[in-house]
Amino acid sequence: MESRAIVRIALLAAVIAALGMVPSIVLPIAMGVPITAQTLGVMLAGIVLGPRHGALAVLLFLFVVLLGAPLLSGGRGGLGVLFGPSVGFLLGWAPAAFVSGLVMARLRTLPVFAAALVAAIAGGIVVEYTCGILGLMAMARMSLPQALAATAVFVPGDLLKALATAFVAEASHRSYPAAIVSRSRPWPPPSPQCCRGMPAKRRADRLSFARTMW
């Protein structure tokens, strides 16, 4: 992995950590699962970095949290976060970032704002809620209807976060198009078959570039 990619991954992990300083909101119906700004960072990681590197940024952040760093909203950290009702949402962050990046890369014909909004909803709401609901059913012993009702309170806030993510992506793209890495790389990523017939050096460079990104 090239050094620039490592820097981007670390930067987005730091953004997720910084968003943990925004005060969270805990509603009784949500069984202690906080409403946090950090899911905005998860959406942004996938949309900006692409599926693989976006997920790696989230995994880096979670690794530091599990080591004990109190970087989750409310100053939470350590292995204990895996045994609470929010574990499904936390474990869903990496898949959410991956799907957000994947959708963003696939919707290359749409304007950045529209593509980012769809990507944020697909990853940050659909995937994230699926994991969160399963976590509530497992850890809080909720039935499916109860878990659905508990997560419904997050929808308005997460839609606002998806809009905010799209605005940030659009602003970043306008000021520096290469900032949205998921849009500045080829999709689908090239395979050895598609590179047949290319000069050897160009073929090797293209495949190496694809492996670095995707």
Pick the CATH number of 3-183 from 3.40.50.800, 1.10.1760.20, 1.20.210.10, 1.10.1670.10: 1.10.1760.20
200-210, pLDDT tens digit by residue?
666 665 555 45
**Predicted confidence band at 191 (pLDDT cuts at 50, 70, 90)?**
low
Average pLDDT score over residue span 140-149? 92
The confidence score (pLDDT) of residue 177 equals 82
Which residues are bridge partners to 35 per DSSP? 25
5 or 207, greater pLDDT = 5
CA-closest candidate to residue 98, choices 145, 131, 33, 53:
53
CA dist 66 and 56 (Å) reads 15
Q: Where are the domains of the chain?
A: 3-183, 186-214
Indicate the helix (H) or strand (E) that contains 25. strand 25-26
Instruction: Indicate the burial class of 146 (C-beta count within 10 angstroms; 0-12, 13-18, 19 or more).
Output: middle
* Region of residue 204 (phi > 0: left; psi between -120 and 50: alpha; otherwise: beta): alpha
88-101, pLDDT tens digit by residue?
999 999 999 999 99
81-133, pLDDT tens digit by residue?
999 889 999 999 999 999 999 999 999 889 999 999 999 999 999 999 999 99
